[in-house]
C-alpha cells in the first residue's frame, strides 16, 4: 500500500473522519484528502504528530506492503453518475411525470452537499441509490420514486414540500411532510414512526431509506451510533416493515427483500460489536 492508502486505512481503523483527523493535526481537510490520494506527503513537522494520532509507528505508516486483513473501503459503492443515468433512463422510459420533475430538482437543490462523515461522496448518491434499489425490487411507481428523490429536501435544504418547483400529488406532498423528523427530536421517535403509518408511501420510503443507511452504517460511524441503529431497527423498523407488508400487498416480496437485508446486516453487527 502507498503512504496515502495507509493513512486512510489507519484513520478508518480509529473511526475518524477526514475532518476529525484534520482538526487533531491542525491542518485543513484538503490537506488530509490530498495525502490520502497520494497527491502530497505530510510535511516533516506533521508526520510525527500524524503517527501519534493514528497510533502507528512511522515504519508501519511508510510500509508499502501492509497486509493485516485490510481491504479497500468503498465510501461510494456504486458510481453516482451511473446511478443517475440508470434512474433517469427508467423514469424517462416509463414516462413518469412527477419523477421527471423531481429528479432535476433533487440534483439542483442538493448541489454541493455531501454525505455526513467523509465529505467525499455527494449527498445525491443516497436518493439515487434508494431510487435504483426500489426500481430493482420492482417498485417503480411514479409517486414512490418522487418521494424517494425528494425525501431529504426539507431536512437538508430547509425547503417545505409545497415550495419544491414540481407538480406533486397530494399523496406525495403528504408523504414528504410525514417523513420529516427534526434533527433535534430523538425523544419523539415513537410518535414519528406511528405517524408514518398514515401514509403507505412514507412508510415504504422510510424502510428503503433505512435499508440503505444500515447497509453502510459500519463505514465511519462510532460504536455508540451503531448500537443506536440496531436498537432503532428492532424497536421501530421491523414493526414498520411488518405493517407495510400486511397493508400494501403489492410490496409483499419487496418488503421481504428489505427485511432480509436489514436483518442480515444488524445480526452481523451484533456479532461484531
Q: What are the tens digits of pLDDT across the range 114-148? A: 876 555 788 999 999 999 999 999 999 999 999 99
Q: What cell was used for 99? A: 419523477
- The answer to whether residues 125 and 195 touch, using CB atoms and an 8 Å cutoff, is no
pLDDT in tens, 66-96: 444 455 555 566 788 999 999 999 999 999 9
Burial of 135 (0-12, 13-18, 19+ CB in 10 A): buried
What is the rounded CA–CA span in Å between residue 148 and residue 205? Answer: 6
Q: Per the CATH hierarchy, to which homologous superfamily does domain 3-62 belong? A: lambda repressor-like DNA-binding domains (1.10.260.40)
- The answer to whether residues 48 and 92 touch, using CB atoms and an 8 Å cutoff, is no
Per-residue pLDDT tens, the chain, 273 aa: give them.
678 888 988 888 888 999 999 999 999 988 888 888 888 888 877 888 998 999 988 878 877 654 444 555 555 667 889 999 999 999 999 999 999 999 999 999 999 888 765 557 889 999 999 999 999 999 999 999 999 999 999 999 999 999 999 999 999 999 999 999 877 767 788 999 999 999 999 999 999 999 998 987 766 667 788 888 999 999 999 999 999 999 999 999 999 999 999 999 999 888 877
Name which of 210, 189, 109 is nearest 157 in CA terms.
109
- The answer to whether residues 10 and 216 touch, using CB atoms and an 8 Å cutoff, is no
- The answer to whether residues 103 and 87 touch, using CB atoms and an 8 Å cutoff, is yes
Determine the topology of domain 80-272 in CATH.
Hypothetical protein af1432 (1.10.3210)
Contacts of 150 (CB under 8 A, 6+ apart): 102, 105, 106, 127, 161, 164, 166, 168, 172, 176
- The answer to whether residues 139 and 251 touch, using CB atoms and an 8 Å cutoff, is yes
Q: What is the pTM of this model?
A: 0.73
Fold: same for 3-62 and 80-272: no
Residue 61 CB coordination number (10 Å): 19
**Look-up of cell digits 400494501:** 248
What is the rounded CA–CA span in Å between residue 1 and residue 3? Answer: 7
Residue boundaries of the structural domains of the chain: 3-62, 80-272
Amino acid at each position: 500500500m502507498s503512504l496515502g492508502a495507509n493513512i486512510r486505512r489507519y484513520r478508518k481503523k480509529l473511526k475518524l473522519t477526514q475532518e476529525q483527523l484534520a482538526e487533531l493535526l491542525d491542518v485543513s481537510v484538503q490537506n488530509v484528502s490530498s495525502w490520502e490520494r497520494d497527491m502530497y506527503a505530510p510535511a516533516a513537522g506533521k508526520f510525527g504528530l500524524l503517527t501519534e494520532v493514528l497510533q502507528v509507528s512511522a515504519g508501519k505508516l511508510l510500509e508499502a506492503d501492509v497486509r493485516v486483513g485490510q481491504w479497500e473501503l468503498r465510501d461510494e459503492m456504486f458510481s453516482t453518475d451511473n446511478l443517475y443515468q440508470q434512474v433517469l433512463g427508467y423514469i424517462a422510459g416509463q414516462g413518469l411525470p412527477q419523477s421527471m420533475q423531481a429528479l432535476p430538482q433533487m440534483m439542483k437543490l442538493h448541489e454541493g452537499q455531501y454525505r455526513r462523515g467523509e465529505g467525499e461522496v455527494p449527498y445525491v448518491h443516497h436518493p439515487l441509490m434508494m431510487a435504483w434499489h426500489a426500481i430493482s425490487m420492482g417498485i417503480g411507481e411514479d409517486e414512490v420514486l418522487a418521494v424517494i428523490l425528494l425525501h431529504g429536501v426539507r431536512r437538508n435544504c430547509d425547503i417545505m414540500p409545497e415550495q419544491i418547483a414540481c407538480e406533486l400529488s397530494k399523496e406525495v406532498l403528504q408523504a414528504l411532510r410525514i417523513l420529516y423528523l427534526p434533527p433535534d427530536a430523538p425523544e419523539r421517535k415513537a410518535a414519528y414512526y406511528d405517524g408514518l403509518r398514515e401514509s403507505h408511501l412514507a412508510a415504504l420510503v422510510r424502510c428503503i431509506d433505512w435499508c440503505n443507511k444500515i447497509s453502510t452504517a459500519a463505514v465511519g460511524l462510532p460504536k455508540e451510533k451503531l448500537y443506536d441503529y440496531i436498537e432503532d431497527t428492532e424497536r421501530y423498523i421491523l414493526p414498520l416493515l411488518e405493517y407495510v407488508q400486511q397493508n400494501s400487498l403489492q410490496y409483499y416480496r419487496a418488503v421481504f427483500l428489505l427485511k432480509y437485508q436489514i436483518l442480515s446486516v444488524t445480526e452481523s453487527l451484533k456479532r461484531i460489536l
